[in-house]
Structure 1
């Protein structure tokens, strides 16, 4: 019997929008104003997103990475400042600080959520600490109430990396609305992805919004072309992409709901495997975003091979903590360890999760994971997350 092919990323991404996209290219390309960046559609998308988030301002930009860099610059991060970031996550969390001649200070992660641990982060605060950047990860929001409290008590600027968490809500407040500035990403694989790069910054502070608008456009104010008030970046949003995202915005809620349903099904099926070495992420709706469904598996590489051989593609995000990368080695104090991030990075594996998956495909994936744990019992079964064994020394 031929095994089915279940790719990790949707093979028909934007397929249903193909004809509309072609029409939009023609409409914008032949419009009399010939405005291809930061035009009326970009402004409209900013307003739509601000309304949905209940935010004062949304500033579109060229990518989630540039959004993070500009956010740190806007809150005053500069040379020699320290920025608290999680030890587990995407490279821009640290690279944004480094690009501003600041110092990323890596905090360990919570063993349940795998997001930055507020207690560990606070223990690393020094007189040089300027900002804290909690990042939501995979399908779980960081503990934003505690980070908001930490920032207030210690006089830190709070930038919320909510690139993966569109649609998530914690204590009635949407992701992106907890910090002075929130970050969104629209790269194609994100929940509100598009065929290209793009991002947004969310804030209630009009002064910060004005600064961010200048940063994204070479330090120019709107309507003041060739008058550069500061050094900025080229991080302008594409009008075609804005028009395309406006078209797709109406279906976002349905796509998010489908993602959540798939995540719930995985959790229902796989939660009983904890004692066999496969641990699912925290369930429920509170602070959940169903962007990527990531489990912790004792025999991660063997599980990935087993699924691949049976037609299921997997993905390993962040196979090493950020301070273990050569790019950030100089910011990792000699002998420093981040044990929970190290343990997690050795076990993380993500299963397919996108709205195009059928219920049968989800069950097939769950069946194969269950089958693997039955055929290949682990050496050190994990009954609870708090009992995770040590990772090998890097």
Structure 2
């Protein structure tokens, strides 16, 4: 670790409460400037267009369309692809609710596939096993710090002639085999909720795509089906999923520091993995080592005695978090879509064992070492 340590309180937060403290003055000035501008444009203005263009150029995408959230982005993509009643979309059985909810909202049926036991991303073999004549799309998701096996999913989609949508909400900045997360499928999303790697003090997201036609349809759908040339002329039945000008200007300001923040997260993750690599025999399994296809939204262990480890870290003043305590098909909202007799043993095992550690870039070296020391002490007790 090379970043200088700085004083820290006794408790270590999972997500820092002062996440945007260094940018407070910029945010206040941005609010004043946009709020007092003569055009009084607060949504989908010049700042949003500038932000979209910066992202498009940095990614090499055909289009980037800012919208209300990553969740909304999935809705927009599915709608743009005309996925609807009678269609099935194969999604991971383990992950965030929007994976299945977005499919349900367009009237289609989510079909749940099991995950890889170590990486916790969708298993291509399990996804393929659930493809039927009604399958319209497959939607793998990147999880925690690992991208899904997108080369295999690209081949799978081509082989079965289905659409490929990438839930890359947590993976901004991740690259696999030279291709950024979000651009392996026909379209993907990033989320900017404050705790994401590219987060902001509010809600928002983008659709990223290598297909200009999808980008054009999403751009209309996010604004009530209008194409931006004339107001109140509606080409599609759309929705209100527009982006805030203040947040767009703030994101443009923050983009210069994104690479540094991502590298700090990566350095912390590398340190953790180095420290934890010998703990498998003690029931603690870190994410796979390496940097290709890695995203560092959160750092998640698989712990045989997860609840005991969580209690141990809490006593040490170290905040940790359990994501997704149940697989999606076990959640009341989605059990009606579960196929009789289907099972997801790896998703169930992950739900019982996952524990995420702080990995945000505000952590000092001393705090990172303290967290690693506490985990190792638990493993060897």
TM-score range, shorter chain: over 0.9
Cross-structure match for 1:12: 18
1:244 match:
250
Deviation track 1:24-83 (CA, whole Å, cap 9, x = no partner) reads: 000000000000000001000111000110111100100000000111111121112000
For the residue of structure 1 that corresponds to 2:189, the secondary structure is: strand
Partner of 2:56: 50
1:163 is matched with which residue: 165, 169, 178? 169
Q: Distance in 1 between matches of 2:292 and 2:359?
A: 19
1:66 alignment partner, SS class: helix
**1:277 paired residue among 277, 283, 290:** 283
The answer to whether structure 1 residue 223 and structure 2 residue 244 are counterparts is no
1:79 counterpart residue number: 85
Give the alignment's Cα RMSD to 1 decimal: 1.1
CA deviations 1:160-219 (Å, max 9, x no partner) are 111111111111111111011111111100000001111111112222111101110011
SS at match of 1:225: coil
Q: Distance in 1 between matches of 2:81 and 2:339?
A: 26
Aligned to 2:104: 98
Which structure 2 residues correspond to residues 376-387 of structure 1 after superposition, within 5 A? none
1:3/1:310 contact within 8 Å kept = no
Which string of whole-angstrom CA distances, capped at 9 and with x for unpartnered residues, describes residues 288-318 of structure 1? 0111100000111111011001100000001
With normalisation by structure 2, the TM-score equals 0.97
The C-alpha deviation readout for 1:89-135, integer Å capped at 9, x for no partner, is 00000000000110000000011211000011001000000000010
Residues 135/8 of structure 1: CA separation in 2 closer, same or farther (3 Å cut): same
1:379 alignment partner in structure 2:
none
The Cα shift of 1:12 comes to 1.2
8 Å Cα contact 1:67-1:201 kept in structure 2 = yes
- Secondary structure, in 3 states, of the residue corresponding to 1:346? helix
Partner of 2:3: none
How many residues end up aligned between the 2 structures? 374
In 2, Cα distance between equivalents of 1:154 and 1:116: 17
* 2:210 matches 1:204: yes
Specify which of 214, 219, 222 is matched with residue 220 of structure 2. Answer: 214
Distance (Å, rounded) in 1 between the aligned partners of 2:123 and 2:253: 38
Partner of 1:345: 351
Ranges of 4+ aligned residues in structure 1 off by more than 2 Å: none
Query: What are the ranges of 5 or more consecutive residues in structure 1 without an aligned counterpart?
Result: 376-394
Give, in angstroms, the shift of residue 248 of structure 1.
Answer: 0.3
Q: TM-score, normalised by structure 1?
A: 0.94
Aligned partner of 2:380 in structure 1 is 374
**Alpha-carbon shift at residue 3 of structure 1 (Å):** 8.8
Choose which of 134, 137, 146 in structure 2 pairs with 1:140.
146
TM-superposed CA distance for 1:224, in Å, is: 1.8
Q: What secondary structure, in the 3-state scheme, does the structure 2 residue paired with 1:231 have?
A: coil
Give the distance between the partners of 1:204 and 1:179, measured in 2 at CA: 8
**What is the SS of the residue equivalent to 2:166?**
strand
